[in-house]
Structure 1
């Protein structure tokens, strides 16, 4: 059985439709020698600090530099705290069973860095060792999908793409976790003061613009305007600076 994994259910259903697979199962669609399954975006994430023994927010823990990052199932917030998302765990179990049965694995996550990361995190978390092929298309038309399946690429062709996404993911963790705890502790641990690789520079730009507007002082300025005639046509010219 060929196993095709998409990034989200809607894409998995669309791929199944193109190939005439119509037997709906729990977490996948089967038919014509294929099983089409899916993720729900990122099913896995880098494990939080407590999974490395950094319990509580303490100055002596900083900087937190895990020797090897771990993957953890995506969590949801409940009244009792954060727990594994049961829907994610169930889907991971389904994907593992399909991978174990697969004669061929075809990766149909989005053609880009994050799409590659979504699949690879699943693949490595499940400790799958089977080779896989990559569907790389930018259009979801039936013909584009069929053409893409006729021209599948070796999964190893995209190792560097995964490495770049994985590096970005780890750097986000290192900056976000360490900087957030450092700032919050320095401010007395009264609340969480969140910092991040993207959000903090973005906030800085917003604040800079806010201060420009707040501190704006109106000034009187003048423009020079003249009336001109050329070839018996009158027109007005105004200076712009």
Structure 2
């Protein structure tokens, strides 16, 4: 695109400002962010309405703290958004990529118009063709809703099941969820099958 001048957290040139995210810089807030430090049995099911977004946290010796790299890059993205008339969402052409952009857009309370770069190849030709054929962001509303619903369902199932098993067993650090629970069940089933052979 000709944006070849490196700035702090973004590139500029040829009328463009290009910035990036890394990992999932934003996630759904945890129970403590809703004022629930240690959920008791009567607090279940945990079902926040509305869900809140928060900056990704990392574990340190003093507990969980916002990831400083995510905080700094979010400030850069906010600055880039403020400097632009129109935004081009160029996250991965997928459900999760759409969710990453929309979560950023919502978190930064951005209301500027945006278009969607939808490509599956990163060759120069593919990028230039995609830029010449930008799509209306609204075309991907259903894709975002699907990703957002899955993310919230994962939160509801994972947090409620994990806290419930901790309450039931009286031990901490039990973790259940949409993906890991069936995988654990398959491993356990195979282990029992082998032991009973």
- TM-score class, shorter-chain normalisation, is over 0.9
Which residues in structure 2 correspond to 1:218-237 (within 5 Å)? none
- 2 CA distance for matches of 1:100 and 1:21? 18
- RMSD of the TM alignment (CA)? 0.9
Higher Rg of the two aligned structures: 1
Contact 1:137–1:145 under 8 Å retained in 2: yes
Confirm or deny that 1:192 pairs with 2:168: no
Shift of 1:41: 2.1
Which position in structure 2 is the counterpart of 1:88?
70
Which consecutive aligned stretches of 4+ in structure 1 deviate over 3 angstroms post-superposition? none
SS at match of 1:196: coil
If each structure's strand is expressed as a fraction of its own residues, which one has the higher value? 1
Aligned position for 1:122: 104
Q: Deviations over 1:215-235 (max 9, x none)?
A: 12xxxxxxxxxxxxxxxxxxx
The equivalences for 1:41-60 within 5 A come to 41-60=23-42
CA distance in 2, matches of 1:41, 1:194: 22
- 2:58/2:65 contact within 8 Å kept: yes
Q: Find the aligned partners of 1:139 and 1:201 in 2 and give their Cα distance.
A: 33
**Which of 43, 51, 55 is matched with 1:61 structurally?**
43
- Deviation (angstroms), 1:191: 2.4
CA distance in 2, matches of 1:65, 1:167: 13
Query: Any conservation in 1 of the 2:11–2:17 contact (CA below 8 Å)?
Result: yes
Q: Indicate conservation of the 8 Å contact 1:107/1:135, yes or no.
A: yes
What TM-score, normalized to structure 1? 0.80
> Equivalent residue of 1:119, what SS?
helix
After superposition, the C-alpha distances for 1:74-108 in whole angstroms (9 at most, x for unaligned) are 01111110111111111111111111111110011
Question: Is it true that 1:100 corresponds to 2:89 in the alignment?
Answer: no
Matches within 5 A, 1:147-166: 147-166=129-148
2:125 aligned partner: 143
Matched, 1:27 2:5: no
1:57 deviation in Å?
Answer: 3.3
> Per the alignment, in what secondary structure is the counterpart of residue 87 of structure 1?
helix
Question: Which consecutive unaligned segments of at least 5 residues does structure 1 have?
Answer: 1-18, 217-241
Aligned partners of 1:67 and 1:208: how far apart in 2? Answer: 37
Distance 1:198 1:128 in 2: 33
> Unaligned regions of 5+ residues in structure 2, if any?
none
* Higher share of residues assigned helix: 2
TM-score w.r.t. the length of structure 2 is: 0.97
